[in-house]
Structure 1
C-alpha cells in the first residue's frame, strides 16, 4: 500500500514539481540545512510505527521489522528543526531519544541487519554514519554533554577506511576519493548519500577542531568539484554514476531537489563557481514540465531494465 502511495505521489511531483528537501539557507541558525518538515506533516507515511522508546522502525516485505538508521536520523533532525522553529519541548524530547538510540551503539557503526543487492548483512552506509554525526553534534549543542560529540567522531571513523577494510571509501575512475552509501564490491557512487556524509563531516568539523577531518572534507570537495558532471544529464541529476550503475538512473523530483539543496549547502560554505552553475541548471530543470517529463521517461526506462529491491 505504501509503495502504491509513493508511486502516485512521485507522479504528482513529476507533473507539478516539488519543494521537498528544500535548502535552509540560514547557516548560523543551527537548523539542519535540509528541510524535512514535510515528513512530519505525513508522520504515518514516513515514520510509523514507533517503538516503546520513541524510535521509528520499518517493516520490510522481505525481512520484517528493522531499524533503518537513516530513518531514525531523519526523524531526529526533522524534530530538531521543529524544536528550533517553535520551541516545542516534545520535539526536543523526541530528538534526544533518537540521539540516545545512536549513542547506544558502542562502536558507532549503525549496521543494516539485512542483505541488500550484493551487500550481505551486517553492512554500514556513509549516509547513516554522516547523518548520525549530524544528530549527535546537535545533541551535544543541546545538552553540552561531550559524550555526544565523542560519539559523533566515532561515527565518522569509517570515512577514513576503504570498503575492504570495513569502511566506506572508494575511488572514482579518476582516482578521486568517494564515500559510498552502499559500500558493495562494485559500488555505484550514489550522490545524495555522499553529500549527506559530507554534511555530517563538516558539521563535526564546526564543533571540534580536527585537522584530520578538515583534510578529508577538503578532499571530498575536490572530488565533487572535479566530477559533478558525472551526475548530470542535461538539466537533471542522476541518482548514481551511470558508468557503473547500468544506465542513466534519473532522480525523482524530490531527490533532484535534494541534490540541488545539498549542492547549495556546499556552495554556501565554499566558493564553488562550477557547482553554482550546476545548481542553477538543475533549478531550471525542476521548474520545467518538459524536463520533468523527460526525467520521468528516463526513470521508467531505468526501472524496466533494473528492478529495484524492496
Structure 2
C-alpha cells in the first residue's frame, strides 16, 4: 500500500479493501497484479457532506497533474497541460471534505478558490467546455476544443451546492442553475442529455447523460453517468435549490436511477465490467479499463444507500465478488 492515498482522476476515496485472490479471468488477474482495490463507504451519502469520503485522502494529487501559479490544478495530456473542469471540481470537493473535518480557514479558502475557478470556466450558457481537443481511440472520436461532458456538469452541481451551503452567496445558486440547465440540454442541441434508444427502441423515454458525446450512437459510459446522478441528487435534494432547478433535478435523479437499472447487466462482460456499452452500440470488443471495475463497485453501493434499491445492492455484491478474496 502507498503511504499516501493518491487521487487518480475520476476515482473515489475511502479505506481500501485488499485483494489476495487469483483468478483465471485475465481482467481480474491484471486487477490483482496492479494492486487495485475497491472502496467501501463507511458513511451514508448526504447532500453537502464529505463527498465520497474525499477527506480520507491526505492530499489532492491526481496522477498526470500539476498546479498553475494561482493554485488551480491542470492535467498533463502528453506534452500539453490543460485545465479540466472535472479535476477542478474534484479538487474543490476534496478541500470541502477537509474543511468539514478540520474547520480550518485554509481548507475553506482552498475549496472556495476552486469553486470560483470552476465558475470562471463556465460559459454563458452554463456549459463547461473543454478548451482543448481530445481523442478517445476506442470511440473512434476526436473531440474538437469546446466539447462538453455530462460528468463535468454534474460534478459542478455537487461543488456549487456545497459552496452555497458554506457561503450563502447566490452566485453559486446561479452557477449551479446554469450548469443544470445545460446538463438537461439534448445532445441534438449540443448538450449532454440523451436516452436509451440506441440500446432498445422501447427505451426511448429513458433518460441518460453522456460523459463523452458520440455520434451517431451513444456509448453510455457508466462511471461518468453515476457521478452525474450524484450531482443531480445534491442539487435536487437541497431545499435551498428548489427555485433554481432543484425540483426538476430531483425528478431527473429518480428517472436517471431507473434508466441505469435497465442496462446494468449489459456492463457485465463475464466476471468483470466494461467501461461503457460501445461493444453494443459501436459493435466492437468490450472496452475494459481495469481500474474502473473498482469504481463501478463503489458506485453501486452509493446508489444503493441513496435509493434503498436492492437492485444496486445485488450488483455491488456481484461485482465485488469477482475480485474478492477466496
TM range (shorter): 0.7 to 0.9
What secondary structure, in the 3-state scheme, does the structure 2 residue paired with 1:57 have?
strand
Q: Structure 1 length normalisation: TM-score? A: 0.80
Q: What is the aligned counterpart of 1:53 among 45, 70, 95?
A: 70
Q: What is the aligned counterpart of 1:190 among 221, 224, 239?
A: 221
Deviation at 1:26, TM superposition (A): 3.0
The yes-or-no answer on 1:264 pairing with 2:288 is: no
What is the aligned partner in structure 1 of residue 106 from structure 2? Answer: 90
**Pair 109,159 (structure 1): closer, same or farther in 2 beyond 3 Å:** closer
Deviation at 1:25, TM superposition (A): 2.2
Q: Structure 2 length normalisation: TM-score? A: 0.77
**Pair 221,18 (structure 1): closer, same or farther in 2 beyond 3 Å:** same
What secondary structure, in the 3-state scheme, does the structure 1 residue paired with 2:147 have?
coil
Which moved further from structure 2: 200-209 or 26-35? 26-35
**Gap runs ≥5 in structure 2:** 1-7, 9-26, 136-140
Deviation at 1:14, TM superposition (A): 2.4
What secondary structure, in the 3-state scheme, does the structure 2 residue paired with 1:82 have?
helix
Q: Supply the distance in 2 between the matched residues of 1:53 and 1:83 (Cα, whole angstroms).
A: 20
What is the aligned partner in structure 2 of residue 23 from structure 1? Answer: 41
Deviation at 1:195, TM superposition (A): 0.6
Q: Supply the distance in 2 between the matched residues of 1:214 and 1:124 (Cα, whole angstroms).
A: 22
Deviation at 1:96, TM superposition (A): 0.6
What secondary structure, in the 3-state scheme, does the structure 2 residue paired with 1:46 have?
coil
Deviating above 6 A after TM superposition, structure 1's stretches of 4 or more consecutive aligned residues are none
Q: What is the aligned counterpart of 1:76 among 86, 92, 98?
A: 92
Deviation at 1:53, TM superposition (A): 2.2
Which moved further from structure 2: 125-134 or 233-242? 233-242
What is the aligned partner in structure 2 of residue 157 from structure 1? Answer: 181
Deviation at 1:77, TM superposition (A): 1.0
Q: What is the aligned counterpart of 1:130 among 145, 154, 158?
A: 154
Kept in 2: contact 1:48–1:56 (CA 8 A): yes
**Gap runs ≥5 in structure 1:** 1-5, 290-310
**Pair 135,211 (structure 1): closer, same or farther in 2 beyond 3 Å:** closer
Q: What is the aligned counterpart of 2:285 among 247, 259, 264?
A: 247
Deviation at 1:37, TM superposition (A): 5.2
Deviations 1:138-188 (A, max 9, x none): 100111112212211211222322212011022222323211000121331
Deviation at 1:33, TM superposition (A): 3.8
**Pair 75,20 (structure 1): closer, same or farther in 2 beyond 3 Å:** farther
Q: How many residues were matched structurally?
A: 278
The yes-or-no answer on 1:34 pairing with 2:70 is: no
The yes-or-no answer on 1:177 pairing with 2:193 is: no
Q: Supply the distance in 1 between the matched residues of 2:176 and 2:148 (Cα, whole angstroms).
A: 15
Deviation at 1:227, TM superposition (A): 1.4
Structure (1 or 2) with the greater helix fraction? 1
Kept in 1: contact 2:235–2:250 (CA 8 A): no
